[in-house]
Amino acid sequence: MMNKMSQFIETKVAPVATKLSSQKYLKALQSTFLFLIPFFTIGSFALVLISPPVDYTTMEPGFLQSIMAGWQSFADFTSPVLDYVFNVTMPLMSLYVALGISYNLCKEYKINSMMPLLVTMSSFIISASMNAERTLSFAAFDATGLFTAIFVGIISFELYRVLVEKKVGRINLEGSGVPPALADSIGNLVPVAIVVVLTAFLNNLLFTFTSINLPQVITIIMNPLVSAVDNIWGVIILAVLVMVFWWFGIHDSVITSALDPFFYSNLGANAAAFAAGTAAMALPHVVTAPFWWNFMAIGGSGATLGLAFLALTSKSKQLRTIGKLSFIPSLFNINEPLIFGLPLMYNPIMMIPFIIVMPLNGVITYLAMSSGLVAKTFAYASWNMFSPIAALIDTMDIKAVILVIALIIIDILIYLPFFKAFEKQKLAEEEE
Amino acid sequence: MRIVLACNAGMSTSILKMKLEQEMTKDGKEPNVIAVPVSEINDHLENASVILLGPQIRFLKNEVQEKTDVPVLAIDIKDYGSMNAVKVYKTVKEVLGE
């Protein structure tokens, strides 16, 4: 039965995973967000530092009040610098994503030229700016333009690439003694012109007939999907799907890389609302990158931090060895040693907790945040930050830390009976 | 000998990297191991002697193999889970015929 199942996975599911993972646009998107993580982290820290969680003038005099007053003067002093640091991170994310897609597709096609990056960037700027005055505008460079950046990024890159490949309007300078770099830039003057003019023309056409621009149109189209992800049922279905993949030992990126645009555009929208003065409890979105990676995947996918602790203190020598090996990485949300070493993969005893614990964390966190009990996330401490600390940075709410600690305890309690059964089996093996 | 390890973000393989480097040093070789995200693998194919994939991305083996002439292996699940660098190194040497 087990053999049949694993055979089914290797012959039927794995090829699908391969297809998705090697899908060039998905791959480019995944690499782009990998590059952007430091920007999200730096911007998050800047935003947190310039935003004291409590207004000290409304507080009772005392120790906490003096801390908050000190924080406020620190914020006043550093905000001339940190405002810029924040403003070039999340509020420009779509511009970076357009560039990143172009850059990563260049690598995919082995194109060694700066021109596609310039073409994609200008196409995105036109599409995101388009307004009644026909001026440049930064408004949709933030999270609101993210799907536009992906869409325009791919289309303009591909159009340019095909035009160059088909030598459309190629100005042949070879043999005339000009340096190769110049031949690449001037030689491709016509394709550049075609893409940029066409982009401006089409965006103008759209705006003239609908009086809204492409980011607004795409927002309307994407809205049902965004709501489907930012929803308790969406969280459950996606988390179960991810964990089923992991139970078969297949990395979640097959699913989560397609979720990245949703996670980050929701995070960006929250950060923008928070920077504009919205209270952290009242932010628009619950499901964001930090929601998933810092509140649900505590210890790694499957929320295995509690399990690593159980393994560390196990009576079985074999399980203890894995516990020792995996506990420290687990603090930083790396759990491959547990998944492959304990193992969790293909382990029928551990299947139930491994698949249900992370969705459960999602449900509890979703309810806590949507009911206003715990602040929503507006910053992102990065996926490999120890979860309780990450929760504090993500929300600046001490109740979020308590939530994460409670989740770790709940996770341990759910894993415990299954782990004990598995441990018994291992101990019996070791007796022999 | 240059061993290229790849997993999704190059994080879990970096644990194995340290252990493999110790094995190479013990073997009297210059330790030369890097751990990279698989999406960056194209940049690290040059000069690689062997490419090892974490089991969580084992299904990309053929895909990576198409890009290079050096052997591409998916690391054994048990060896990876226990971060057994001794066995992984032994396998590498066998494959390279050393």
Interface test with A, best of B36, B39, B86 (most A CBs within 10 A): B39
Phi, psi dihedrals of residue A48, rounded to the nearest 5°: -65, -45
Q: What average pLDDT score do residues A154-180 get?
A: 86
Statement: residue A252 has pLDDT above 90: no
A34 contacts: CB under 8 Å, gap ≥ 6: B9, B37, B39
* Other C-beta atoms lying within 10 Å of the C-beta of residue A160: 24
Answer yes or no: do A340 and B77 touch at CB < 8 A. Answer: yes
Instruction: Tell me what pLDDT residue A1 has.
Output: 58
CA distance A391 to A140: 28
| Closest approach of A394 to chain B, Cα-based (Å) | 22
> What would the two tokens of residue A203 be?
């965006």
Phi, psi dihedrals of residue B34, rounded to the nearest 5°: -130, 150
Residues on chain B touching A249 (C-beta within 8 angstroms): 55-56, 58, 77
Instruction: Give the A window 228-287 contacts with B, CB below 8 Å.
Output: 246, 249-251, 253
Q: If pLDDT is split at 50, 70 and 90, which confidence band does A175 have?
A: low
Residue A272's alpha-carbon distances to A283, A291, A337, A389, B9, in angstroms, are: 9, 17, 38, 22, 28
Residue A410's alpha-carbon distances to A166, A305, A312, A425, in angstroms, are: 60, 11, 18, 24
Nearest chain A residue (CA) to B55: A249
Catalytic, out of B4, B5, B6, B7:
B7
CA distance A71 to A53: 9
Tens digits of residue pLDDT in B6-59: 988 778 888 899 999 999 999 998 999 999 988 888 888 888 999 999 998 888
Residues on chain B touching A31 (C-beta within 8 angstroms): 37, 39-40
Contact of A161 with chain B, judged by CB distance below 8 Å, is answered with no
Query: For every residue of B9-78, which 3-state class applies, written as one string?
Result: CCCHHHHHHHHHHHHHHHCCCCCCEEEEEHHHHHHHCCCCCEEEECHHHHHHHHHHHCCCCCCEEECCHH
CA distance A381 to A394: 6
CATH code, domain carrying B43: 3.40.50.2300
Sketch the domain layout of chain A as residue ranges: 93-221, 230-431
Full residue range of the structural domain in which residue B12 is found: 3-96
What is the side-by-side order of every strand in the sheet holding B3-7?
B33-37, B3-7, B50-53, B72-74
Tens digits of residue pLDDT in A41-99: 999 999 999 988 878 888 888 888 898 899 999 999 999 999 999 999 999 999 999 99
> What would the two tokens of residue B2 be?
């240059």
Q: Are A342 and A310 in contact (CB under 8 A)?
A: no
Answer yes or no: do A339 and B56 touch at CB < 8 A. Answer: yes
Nearest chain A residue (CA) to B9: A34
Ramachandran quadrant class, A310 (left: phi over 0; alpha: psi -120 to 50; beta: rest) = alpha
Instruction: Tell me what pLDDT residue B15 has.
Output: 87
Of A22, A107, A341, Cβ closest to residue B63 = A22
Residues on chain A touching B37 (C-beta within 8 angstroms): 31, 34
ipTM of the assembly? 0.83
**Mean per-residue pLDDT of chain A:** 92
B2 assigned to active site = no
Residue B73, beta-bridge partner list: B52
Instruction: Tell me what pLDDT residue A176 has.
Output: 67
Statement: residue A240 has pLDDT above 90: yes
Q: Are A322 and A338 in contact (CB under 8 A)?
A: yes
Residues on chain A touching B80 (C-beta within 8 angstroms): 336-337, 340-341
Answer yes or no: do A343 and B81 touch at CB < 8 A. Answer: yes
Work out how many domains chain B is built from and give that number. Answer: 1
Residues on chain A touching B41 (C-beta within 8 angstroms): none
Nearest chain A residue (CA) to B81: A341
**CA quadruple B8, B10, B12, B13: dihedral sign:** positive
Residues on chain A touching B58 (C-beta within 8 angstroms): 14, 249
Instruction: Give the A window 182-201 contacts with B, CB below 8 Å.
Output: none
* Other C-beta atoms lying within 10 Å of the C-beta of residue A108: 16
